[in-house]
Chain A
Amino acid sequence: MSTEFWQYRLDTCWKDERGYHDELLCIGERIKKGTFRPCLEEAIPFSSAVGALREALGLPYSVDLYAAGHICNPKCSPPGVEYITLAPSDVATGGVKPPAPLTVKALRGVKGRIFVEISSDEVRKALEKIGSPFEITMGAMKSTGFGRCRLTRVFEDVPLVVEPGRLRTRIPERHKEHFGITDNVSKPIYGYLFDTSDEAKRNDGTGTYVKSLFEGSIIEGYSFLLGGEDAS
């Protein structure tokens, strides 16, 4: 099967038959202990996108899914940054779990792009079945109501041109070839993403962290995942 990507526009602010929605998105940086939880402002990592899509599409873990994206608000209307203070409660005691209160940084008015690889017939059928637009829930604090987004398919060809440039998302190294990333990674920025695709680990109720290329890496890969300014 030749490589094909479907492109989706991501919005946290939309109107539908139920009314207006203006949701908060917190793709949380993995910070523990601290009472302040920052969030990503550019990348929509592979792990977040795949996790949310798998749930929305109802795809089993046996079906491989590859997706990633980035936040791309126009310069004149950047996402609003909000700080929400929460006190997670302990179900057993009814009290507040330490450390409390917890302050979460979240984004409002996010516009982004998510690219899904049509890696198998199952993925194509699932995407066709769900249609466009559809809703996903992505990122942190989902139980508190964060992370609802609407994806709308953009019927434009996604050019599969391999170019050098700055990566705008987070991709596990083991899946980099799905995004056209060659071995010619001139300046990697490494980190780890959570991966639940390993069946044995999933059965344990745990997962594995996999070495990944983070935003800001200088790579050769598909042009649709490149761009932005070097924060360093």
Chain B
Amino acid sequence: MPNTKSDISIIAKLHDLLKLGGCDLHHFCPTKHPKAADMERVHPHLWKALRHHCVSWYWQKKHQCGLKQMDRETFCISYADHKASAISRRLRRLLSHHLVIHVWKHEHRTDEEFKPIEAIFEQALDSRDLKKLYSDHLTDMEERSETANTRDGSSFTSLRTHAELTASWADFLLRNADRYRLPVGTDSAYRFRKPLEKGKVVLVRCKIRTHGRLARLRDLQMVRDIEVRKKLVVRALGRVSLYELPDEILIPMHPDLAEEIGDLLKPTLSTNHFIEFTPAPSPFLNAKGNGEGFLHNFHTLFGDYTGIVYPDLDDTIEPNDEYPASQRAILCDLCQLAQARVEYHDAFPGTTDPVPEYLCQSCAGLRKRSKTRARNLTTWERSVDNDEERAIDDAKARPRVCVVKVSLDMAELVSALKNAFQTTFREKLKDRPLDGHDLGFSILQEFVLDYNRFVKKFEESILALHDGRYSGDSHDHILDGFLALRIESDSEVADITREYVKLYDQYFPRLKGPTFPVKLSISCSHIKHPFLEHWEVLDKPTSAINVQSVRRAQVGLSFEQFEALESFGRNPEPRVSGFLHRLAEIYDRTGSELLVKFTLLDKDDNERRVVEPFMNGTVNPSQILNYYKLFVQDAKR
């Protein structure tokens, strides 16, 4: 019997494998396949999963091959499939296709077809390792939509996402089978379903957050630690997660456990993290009369988080004689939520750090195990120290660093996807406004998969720029989508930004505003500039493209604005610096476009051409000036 997590997980993931074969009959009733008996003999566990449709009375009656008796695993996979589909098919009667439709990329896919793998049954039969079978067909499952049924009209989730969701539900049901009083051994589908009729599940959406106070680059470890915290949270709340986004998780819980959610979460936290959560209790089945049904209150999960959990915090923090650090600082310099106990010196080997930090034990531990150190950046800094005197008079020796970060805002993603659906399916939706809960988590998960591919590709593209100038020792990979590059002039950000825009067009061509969930932030400065000032911009990007040279220029642009400025950037007019400064000054002080236009009346055609994007209302004069400073000025030197 497959009773371990990995067993149930992998057979549940493969439950819809026969969809890849393109034969509906074999998918709905694998017993009709000529080699059915072989499959039952060779892979008895997989066979249970493949027959998940035979559990329902409808299919039992239709195919006359009913599964009269079943065990917990078989029932749970079948039931999990229903629950997973209910989440994935929230947007209905819009579009059907065998290929998954990503609304950020496709309007329709009429010109492409999914190529069925006709020998999928035989491949499964011959496979000795089910995990390998799944990974071998992962790409196919990412391409194939979960449902191509025209009545569903909901081909927005891939088979892969559906398979993973089904595995999670099956795992949850099996782990809680005793709590839900499911029959032990084999029994009829009716007897298995009966106890769940009044059963409830609580979906808990958790977001793991940091206090965001970073003093050093290595403190980014607390962002990295979110991954570890997520695992701890999942373990604390029942070991099953339905979805995992970068800093969010959706966890199903038995109602008995959900009452203690605060107490269960507390031990998973340190002073560097806290958790926001929203629980939504829901019955498994649609109850008659009271309007309650499976996920009837799904939308509440998408509102503001209703609860928050901190680790245990002291009411007062006083100086403690036992710890000299506490005498000096009382409160931890980093998290500011615990008593300072450790004197932390950060110094290069052989030197002494003149200003120590006073940290709590948790933060000191974080610094110690941090893997977000930019080792190359440290080397660059040291080389500047050694060459400082030589470099001071040498205008060309301007060692600079450029920090590049791509970020994804989940709240804005929901809003952007709603817009994209409404624009794409305006007629079918009949102008019905969509809400966050209409999307469900499946579509968000699909997007995150695409986003991860995009980030990886972008990193590769940066390292390949200028014949690989940034590869090797000239870059530090801090986190996914977060790089530090050694540059010589600020204008090098131009090529990085252009590469980003090019890739964005490939991956998210239909997500061009007004909301931008994916944002690029680039911050440049002298190598020795404190990281905290970079972080101010990197942490809270406001536009699709955000570029700054610390305390020199800062610009936030949409893709449309960037495109408009690029026409000027590619053929820059000489000697426009003073002119642009003047216009930007007028605009910044008065906020009046009219006054700027009045100033332009006596200017010649060349100068007017420079401000064309302003004249047609795309950008303001400050944006042109900052674009000029960042993208053009240094490049001309």
Question: Which A residues fall within an 8 A CB radius of B?
Answer: 29-36, 38, 83, 98-99, 103, 173-174, 186-192, 195, 201, 204, 206-211, 230, 232
Binds A, one of B100-108, B176-184, B314-322: B314-322
- The CA of A145 and the CA of B355, in the complex, are separated in Å by 25
Report whether A98 and B355 are in contact in the complex, using a CB–CB cutoff of 8 Å: yes
- The CA of A11 and the CA of B316, in the complex, are separated in Å by 33
- The CA of A232 and the CA of B412, in the complex, are separated in Å by 12
**Contacts of A211 on B, CB cut-off 8 Å?**
313-316
0 or 1 for each of B315-357: is its CB under 8 Å from A? (1 = yes): 1111100000000011101001100000000000000001111
**Contacts of A34 on B, CB cut-off 8 Å?**
215, 530, 532
Within the complex, what minimum Cβ distance (angstroms) separates B212 from chain A?
10
Known contacts A31-B215, A32-B357, A34-B532; A209 and B330 CB within 8 A of each other: yes
B61 in the interface (beta carbon within 8 A): no
Q: Which residue in chain A gives the minimum CB-CB distance to B207?
A: A232
Report whether B337 and A35 are in contact in the complex, using a CB–CB cutoff of 8 Å: no
Within the complex, what minimum Cβ distance (angstroms) separates B385 from chain A?
15
B284 in the interface (beta carbon within 8 A): no
Known contacts A192-B331, A209-B316; A187 and B310 CB within 8 A of each other: no
B213 in the interface (beta carbon within 8 A): yes
Report whether A33 and B333 are in contact in the complex, using a CB–CB cutoff of 8 Å: yes
Within the complex, what minimum Cβ distance (angstroms) separates B618 from chain A?
23
Q: CB within 8 A of A188: which of B213, B310, B358? A: B310
Report whether B304 and A190 are in contact in the complex, using a CB–CB cutoff of 8 Å: no
- The CA of A173 and the CA of B316, in the complex, are separated in Å by 10
**Contacts of A210 on B, CB cut-off 8 Å?**
315-317
Report whether A187 and B215 are in contact in the complex, using a CB–CB cutoff of 8 Å: no
B533 in the interface (beta carbon within 8 A): yes
Known contacts A174-B315, A208-B317, A230-B304; A35 and B530 CB within 8 A of each other: yes
Known contacts A209-B316, A209-B330; A32 and B310 CB within 8 A of each other: no
- The CA of A83 and the CA of B337, in the complex, are separated in Å by 27
Report whether A187 and B317 are in contact in the complex, using a CB–CB cutoff of 8 Å: no
Q: Which residue in chain A gives the minimum CB-CB distance to B534?
A: A36
**Contacts of A99 on B, CB cut-off 8 Å?**
354-355
- The CA of A188 and the CA of B551, in the complex, are separated in Å by 35
0 or 1 for each of B536-576: is its CB under 8 Å from A? (1 = yes): 10000000000000010000000000000000000000000
Report whether A192 and B333 are in contact in the complex, using a CB–CB cutoff of 8 Å: no
**Contacts of A103 on B, CB cut-off 8 Å?**
530, 533
Query: Most chain-B CB neighbours within 10 Å: which of A30, A188, A192, A204?
Result: A192
Known contacts A31-B215, A83-B551; A208 and B336 CB within 8 A of each other: no
**Contacts of B595 on A, CB cut-off 8 Å?**
none
- The CA of A157 and the CA of B357, in the complex, are separated in Å by 46
**Contacts of B380 on A, CB cut-off 8 Å?**
none
**Contacts of A187 on B, CB cut-off 8 Å?**
276, 305-308
Q: Which residue in chain A gives the minimum CB-CB distance to B314?
A: A211
**Contacts of A186 on B, CB cut-off 8 Å?**
306-307
0 or 1 for each of B12-55: is its CB under 8 Å from A? (1 = yes): 00000000000000000000000000000000000000000000
Give 5 CB contacts A-B under 8 Å: A32-B215, A33-B355, A187-B307, A189-B308, A209-B318
Contacts A33-B356, A103-B530, A210-B316 given; 5 further ones with Cβ under 8 A? Answer: A32-B357, A34-B530, A204-B319, A206-B319, A210-B315
**Contacts of A32 on B, CB cut-off 8 Å?**
215, 329, 333, 355, 357-358
Q: Which residue in chain B gives the minimum CB-CB distance to A174?
A: B315
Within the complex, what minimum Cβ distance (angstroms) separates A121 from chain B?
29
**Contacts of B316 on A, CB cut-off 8 Å?**
195, 208-211
**Contacts of B333 on A, CB cut-off 8 Å?**
30-33
Known contacts A30-B331, A33-B355, A98-B354; A209 and B532 CB within 8 A of each other: no
**Contacts of B305 on A, CB cut-off 8 Å?**
187
**Contacts of B310 on A, CB cut-off 8 Å?**
188, 190
User: For chain B residues 490-524, which have a beta carbon within 8 Å of chain A?
Assistant: none
Q: CB within 8 A of B308: which of A174, A188, A201, A206? A: A188
**Contacts of B313 on A, CB cut-off 8 Å?**
190, 211
- The CA of A138 and the CA of B521, in the complex, are separated in Å by 34
**Contacts of B306 on A, CB cut-off 8 Å?**
186-187
Within the complex, what minimum Cβ distance (angstroms) separates A195 from chain B?
8
- The CA of A2 and the CA of B124, in the complex, are separated in Å by 79
- The CA of A112 and the CA of B526, in the complex, are separated in Å by 36
Within the complex, what minimum Cβ distance (angstroms) separates A181 from chain B?
15
Report whether A208 and B318 are in contact in the complex, using a CB–CB cutoff of 8 Å: yes
**Contacts of B317 on A, CB cut-off 8 Å?**
192, 208-210
Known contacts A99-B355, A209-B330; A30 and B530 CB within 8 A of each other: no
Known contacts A186-B306, A206-B319; A33 and B215 CB within 8 A of each other: yes
**Contacts of B337 on A, CB cut-off 8 Å?**
190-192
- The CA of A103 and the CA of B529, in the complex, are separated in Å by 11
Report whether B336 and A30 are in contact in the complex, using a CB–CB cutoff of 8 Å: yes
Within the complex, what minimum Cβ distance (angstroms) separates B576 from chain A?
27
Report whether A192 and B336 are in contact in the complex, using a CB–CB cutoff of 8 Å: yes
Query: Most chain-B CB neighbours within 10 Å: which of A36, A83, A103?
Result: A36
Within the complex, what minimum Cβ distance (angstroms) separates A150 from chain B?
25
- The CA of A22 and the CA of B489, in the complex, are separated in Å by 37
Known contacts A187-B305, A191-B336, A207-B330; A31 and B315 CB within 8 A of each other: no
Q: Which residue in chain B gives the minimum CB-CB distance to A201?
A: B318
Within the complex, what minimum Cβ distance (angstroms) separates A211 from chain B?
5
**Contacts of A232 on B, CB cut-off 8 Å?**
209
- The CA of A87 and the CA of B316, in the complex, are separated in Å by 33
Within the complex, what minimum Cβ distance (angstroms) separates B315 from chain A?
5
**Contacts of B209 on A, CB cut-off 8 Å?**
232
- The CA of A35 and the CA of B528, in the complex, are separated in Å by 11
- The CA of A32 and the CA of B359, in the complex, are separated in Å by 11
User: For chain B residues 114-162, which have a beta carbon within 8 Å of chain A?
Assistant: none
Query: Most chain-A CB neighbours within 10 Å: which of B310, B336, B354, B357?
Result: B336
Q: Which residue in chain B gives the minimum CB-CB distance to A37?
A: B532
**Contacts of A33 on B, CB cut-off 8 Å?**
215, 333, 355-357
**Contacts of A192 on B, CB cut-off 8 Å?**
317, 331, 336-337
Within the complex, what minimum Cβ distance (angstroms) separates A3 from chain B?
24
Within the complex, what minimum Cβ distance (angstroms) separates A56 from chain B?
26
- The CA of A191 and the CA of B331, in the complex, are separated in Å by 11
**Contacts of B533 on A, CB cut-off 8 Å?**
36, 103
**Contacts of B536 on A, CB cut-off 8 Å?**
38
Within the complex, what minimum Cβ distance (angstroms) separates A76 from chain B?
8
0 or 1 for each of B425-455: is its CB under 8 Å from A? (1 = yes): 0000000000000000000000000000000
**Contacts of B358 on A, CB cut-off 8 Å?**
32
0 or 1 for each of B77-104: is its CB under 8 Å from A? (1 = yes): 0000000000000000000000000000
- The CA of A190 and the CA of B337, in the complex, are separated in Å by 8
- The CA of A207 and the CA of B313, in the complex, are separated in Å by 18
Within the complex, what minimum Cβ distance (angstroms) separates A184 from chain B?
13
Q: Which residue in chain A gives the minimum CB-CB distance to B358?
A: A32
Within the complex, what minimum Cβ distance (angstroms) separates A70 from chain B?
20
- The CA of A83 and the CA of B551, in the complex, are separated in Å by 9
Within the complex, what minimum Cβ distance (angstroms) separates A206 from chain B?
5
Q: CB within 8 A of B330: which of A38, A191, A206? A: A206
- The CA of A204 and the CA of B313, in the complex, are separated in Å by 24
